[in-house]
Amino acid sequence: MRIWISIGILVLWAAMALFGPFLPLSPDAIDLPKILHGPGLDAWLGHDDLGRSILDRLIMGAQTSFIVSLWVVLISIIVGTVIGATSAYFGGWLDLVVVRIIDVFLAVPGILLAIALAGVMGPGIENVVIALSIVGWVGYARLSRAQVMALKHRDHVVAATALGTAPQTIIRRHLIPLIAAPLIVEATFGIAGVVIAEASLSFLGLGVQPPEASWGSMIRDGTRYMLVAPHMVIAPGIAMMLVVLSVNLFGDWLRDRLDVRTRQR
């Protein structure tokens, strides 16, 4: 039952992101008489400090978090898998260089590096995607390298090498399909991390810029009115909490489903 609730929340999140632009919403419409009004029949989640509908901005913020998390995870998993699998397969000086680069990235907290990169490149959703992708590929590279190191001496890989198969073909057809399961599980947890990271950058003013909506910027704007209009913070905060919790629960469920030992029990 719990996993179905989580999947339902994720489907709702994706639906808001994909179909939000086609709905009759007015996330930027300023209505001065309704400034800081609480939830009501005209606006289920109330209005913000400019009289804008929080529900409309929440839906558009879902689009921002969905697009950023999708692109960051997609770029990170492709770049990280290619780098990690290639370095593990060839070994030698290439693997040594890649390992040292990974160690350097892991020595610096990822969110601090993302903040520094976003600050240098400037605010904007494109720069947020680039900054988080530069930070995010390391985990996938480390995981794919460890998996390929354990698989490259298997009989079918040795046989393919003996038959003269090109290294890139061996990596693409014989190794990456075997490590796809742990990478997919890692990607689900990566989505949750990117949602929080994007909200953090937007909270600091380094993400999407006004009037575009983001859950992080909505929370930032609401912190000034916590005592008189707590709904400004509660609505985006609960939305982000539900999405992150659902992604993590879905990742746990997916890990158990892809684990042969757990499935046999």
CATH of the domain at 195: 1.10.3720.10
CA-based nearest residue to 187, from 261, 103, 67, 78: 78
Alpha-carbon distance 257 to 260, whole Å? 7
Domain-located, residue 224 = yes
User: What pLDDT band is residue 265 in, cutting at 50, 70 and 90?
Assistant: low
End-to-end CA distance of the chain: 20
Residue 108 pLDDT > 70, yes or no?
Answer: yes
Domain-located, residue 220 = yes
Structural domain boundaries enclosing 120: 48-264
Tokens of 228: 């008189």
Alpha-carbon distance 212 to 47, whole Å? 16
* 29 Rama sector, left if φ>0, alpha if ψ -120 to 50, beta otherwise: beta
Tokens of 49: 């400090």
> Residue 255: what pLDDT?
85
Omega within 30 of 0 (cis) for the link into 230 = no
Contacts of 64 (CB under 8 A, 6+ apart): 125, 198, 202, 207, 208, 212, 213, 214, 215
Alpha-carbon distance 179 to 211, whole Å? 42
Tokens of 31: 């209505």
Domain-located, residue 42 = no
Alpha-carbon distance 16 to 244, whole Å? 16
Domain-located, residue 37 = no
Number of domains in the chain: 1
Domain-located, residue 215 = yes
Distances (CA, A) of 166 to 90, 104, 157, 162, 174: 12, 31, 11, 10, 11
Residues 217, 210 contacting (CB under 8 angstroms): yes
How buried is residue 12: exposed, middle or buried, by Cβ count under 10 Å (0-12/13-18/19+)? middle
Distances (CA, A) of 136 to 46, 72, 113, 121, 125: 36, 7, 11, 17, 16
User: What pLDDT band is residue 210 in, cutting at 50, 70 and 90?
Assistant: confident
Nearest-10 Cα torsion for 164, 167, 169, 174: 90
Average pLDDT over residues 202-229: 89
Residue 110 pLDDT > 90, yes or no?
Answer: no
Domain-located, residue 199 = yes
Domain-located, residue 190 = yes
In this predicted model, what pLDDT tens digit does every residue of 150-195 receive, in sequence order? 888 888 888 888 888 888 888 888 889 888 888 999 999 999 999 9
pTM: 0.89
Q: What are phi and psi of 164, to 5 degrees?
A: 85, 20
* Cβ neighbours, 10 Å, residue 228: 10
> Residue 2: what pLDDT?
81
Domain-located, residue 19 = no
Residue 259 pLDDT > 80, yes or no?
Answer: no
